[in-house]
Chains A and B, each alone.
Chain A
Amino acid sequence: MEIEVRLFATLREGRGKKIFFQFEKGISPHKIIKLLNIKEEDVSILLINGRNGELNVELNEGDVVSIFPPVGGG
């Protein structure tokens, strides 16, 4: 199944804006960030199909995962 991953801000550096993966069933955002060498603390907002999502859920065919790093300055 195909999963689209959209990266934001500095997570794009060396990885690109959009990445398309072909996976067997049973893939989670957690496994995807490991594959992309993104540390868990660098994941702030995680959206699945534009809605608030979680790292440890099973993704479905065609899901779009968006990942944003933490922005905290004032």
Chain B
Amino acid sequence: MKRYIRNMNMLSKEENEKLKDFKVCVVGCGGLGGYIIEMLGRLGIGHITAVDGDVFDETNLNRQVLSDVENLGKSKAMIAQRRMKLVNPLIEIVPIDNRITEENAEKILCGHHLIIDAIDNIYIRFLLQDTASKLNIPMIHGAIAGWYGQVATIFPGDKTLEKIYPQKDVKGLENEIGNPSFTPALIASIQVSEALKILLNKGEILRHKLLYIDLLEHNYMIMEL
């Protein structure tokens, strides 16, 4: 199939064919999530669940790739589905227009091969990690604030978030400094490449590690956690 021809030389034919069988849950369809869904869909990941209870507003336009002036006020999850129908109708995308809560987390996350953390709340990330662990699903953590971003891959039982955030209920730096257009795209790209490697069981991954990026001062560090 011509659509995937440019994926073909970096992945084998068999690997490409496998992608349609994977089911990935992207939690958050904002800054990170929009790019993540776009990239997973173009790669040909066969089943994507897009979770977000929010609607687009004008402040999202500076960075959230799924937002535009015509869809302000519309559900982020539903717009993600509409976008993927245009980009790659061969894949299935299931929108969940709801926030992740303690009551619904298991039901939403269950049955996926991988969970991608694209949410904007540190406290809820712990719920995501704990539920992923209970369901025995790996999770790729990503977070952004201004010039700064980070990625870690968390396997069931790793409890990596406890090392990244010693306090669950703190507010991140992004509440002070916001987020520009480029940091979400960068961190989302790294999360998707990490996702692909986990699904296909190849390459080096960021397990028990955190990749920390400071684009202002050009610090790119992988720390052992």
Contact = CB atoms under 8 A, between A and B. Distances in A.
Interface residues of B, number: 42
A62 interface: no
A47 B173 CA distance: 19
Interface string B200-211: 000000000010
Given A47-B223, A51-B224, A72 B167 contact: no
Given A10-B176, A47-B223, A74 B214 contact: no
Contacts of B210: 45
A69 to B, nearest CB: 5
Contacts of A72: 120-122, 125, 143, 145, 165, 170-174
Contact of B143 (A9, A10, A40, A71): A71
A58 B179 CA distance: 37
Contact of B165 (A44, A50, A51, A73): A44
B138 interface: no
B184 to A, nearest CB: 8
A8 interface: yes
B31 interface: yes
Interface string A37-73: 0001101111100111000000000000000111111
Contacts of A8: 148, 212, 214, 219
Given A9-B214, A10-B176, A44-B164, A71 B150 contact: yes
A10 B150 CA distance: 15
B44 interface: no
A9 B145 contact: yes
A74 B28 contact: yes
Contact of B224 (A17, A50, A68): A50
B61 to A, nearest CB: 16
